[in-house]
Amino acid sequence: MAAPLHHDAIVDLVRWARDLTLADIPDDVLDGTKRRVLDLVAAALAGTRAEGVPQLLRAVDGWGGRPVASVIGSTLRTSVPHAVLLNATIARALELDDVHEKALLHPTVATAPIALALAEQDPAVDGARVVTALVAAQEVMCRLGLAPEYHVAGPKHRPRGWSFTYQCGALGGTLAAALVRGLDESRTLDALGNAYTALAGNQQAIKEATLAIRVQQGITAQTAVQSADLAASGITGPHEVLEGEYGWLSYWHGGSYDREVVVGDLGKRWETAGVSVKPYPVCRITHNTIGATLAAGVAPDDVERIVVHVNSQESWDEVVHPLERRRRPTSPMDAQFSLPFIVGIVASRGGVTLADLSEEAINDPRVVAMAERVEPVLDPGFESMAGRMIPMPVTVDVHRRDGTVVTRESAHPLGHPGNPLGWAEAEAKVWDGAAWGTTAADRSVVESLVSAVRSLETHSAPGELAGLLARAKAVPA
């Protein structure tokens, strides 16, 4: 039958994704995808004992499940939905995973744990299929995140309670699952429809600094796998999930979106080229401020006050307001989303690492005192702008005790495509992640992980990566 003159944009995305082959993927896109998988390995190794992970591990262990999939840093084997719930939570727990700043989402953590778990379950899945699924699913995620009209600043800005990270993540993760499982077009659309019926994810956990911040990422991955499983079992789902009467673009976003961003130049314009990796374990919104503060190079004893010109209402709402609480975070997780406190750490210690976010470290009197001297101001110049000018430059004025002022601006934070990090930095981050926490990593296993990711597209059994991640820092469940 001839295709209709107009169909839901999800159909074009699914057809492109299902037709994509390894040979269609440009070298730079393939290289970037693999480097970000290695970056996720680093984040996951570091996150194995983050607060919330042991509690979730005990819960999943109590639920049971067929032992077909590995859990990062654990001897537990469980079902694929339970494994990805844990693995995506672990990989996101310490705010070290990659992010598409303009699309406002985290693409690799939403897709790679799913693809690896399914490859472990089915040894017939090869590396080419895994890589192709990751490239396609992440590209779709980024396009969905970029398409709706949304203003981070200016008169059209409205507070964003919902989350592109989890909503686009559920759809992108489901597409990855469907591609790895080899579902046909109709079943893939069913899977995406099933995911849409379960779509969730919001910002309230950040406001209250609860552990749900971390677990939401796992729930998103679990939803994706279950949605594909339901479709494979014959559970049909709506097929007009983007542009139907109650579709994500037409209903959630009031029809204010750019269809060309969603489906235009598929395979020619690669939005995943805009994904950034994170050198610091804190909310990405703060990274330009970190860069500008470091560039000022002022000794802690010389600082009278630090004025941070916050670049949008979006940033203000997420990492500044309420100011007094952000200056005195109540937990390491709270500190990760507290711009004044993060600047206090950087100005006091010359950087920010996981060690700077321990319970003891966030109560360091020197850091607390410095955070009190951080004065965020909402920059009216940026606030007059419209759209998604992300990342927008950040200006920091360090007022010295001698009356002089050192002003520095950061336009592209470290790890952004405009200020990139390469393979060497990704490998160094893996070793940092392997060394973090109370459990020492097995060096030979970590070396095998790095080697396997570098050649992922030619790996005959990519599911082995899931087992390596489990063994690298394994402790009994």
| Amino acid letter, 339 | L
* pLDDT at residue number 4: 47
The residue that leads in pLDDT, 383 or 53, is: 53
Q: Is the pLDDT of residue 241 over 80?
A: yes
**CA nearest neighbour of 289 among 405, 393, 445:** 393
pLDDT of residue 264: 98
3-state secondary structure of 267: coil
Which of 326, 315, 329, 314 minimizes the C-alpha distance to 375?
326
What residue ranges of the chain are covered by domains with CATH 1.10.4100.10?
Answer: 9-279+423-472
Q: How far apart are CA 367 and CA 349, in angstroms?
A: 8
What pLDDT is recorded for position 304?
Answer: 98
Q: What are phi and psi of 413, to 5 degrees?
A: -65, 155
Q: How confident is the model at residue 384 (pLDDT cuts 50, 70, 90)?
A: low
**Residue 43, pLDDT score:** 98
Q: Give the number of other CB atoms < 10 A from CB of residue 438.
A: 8
Q: Return the axis-axis angle of helices 164-181 and 185-197, rounded to nearest 10°.
A: 150
Percent of the chain scored above 70 by pLDDT? 97
For the chain, what is the mean pLDDT? 95
247-279 tens-digit pLDDT: 999 999 999 999 999 999 999 999 999 999 999
| Per-residue pLDDT reduced to its tens digit, 431-446 | 999 999 888 899 999 9
What confidence category does residue 426 fall into, taking pLDDT thresholds of 50, 70 and 90?
A: very high
What b-and-e string marks burial along 50-68, b requiring 16 or more CB atoms within 10 Å of the CB? Answer: bebbeebbeebbeeebeee
pLDDT value at residue 6: 66
* pLDDT at 439 (0 to 100): 84
Q: Is the pLDDT of residue 3 over 60?
A: no
Closest by CA position to 340, among listed 282, 301, 276? 282
- Cis before 322 (ω within 30): yes
CATH says 9-279+423-472 is which class?
Answer: mainly alpha
In terms of CATH, what superfamily is 284-410?
Answer: 2-methylcitrate dehydratase PrpD (3.30.1330.120)
Distance CA 370, CA 365 (A): 8
pLDDT band for position 17 (50/70/90)?
very high
For the cut 60, the answer to whether the pLDDT of residue 9 exceeds it is yes
Prediction pTM value: 0.96
* Segment 181-220, tens digit of pLDDT: 999 999 999 999 999 999 998 989 988 999 999 999 999 9
All CATH 3.30.1330.120 domain ranges of the chain, comma separated, are 284-410
Q: What is the mean pLDDT of residues 130-154?
A: 95
| pLDDT-derived band at 20, boundaries 50, 70, 90 | very high
Provide mean pLDDT across the span 58-75: 96
Q: Give the model's confidence band at 234: pLDDT under 50 very low, under 70 low, under 90 confident, else very high.
A: very high
- The residue-averaged pLDDT of 67-74 equals 97
pLDDT for the residue numbered 207: 87
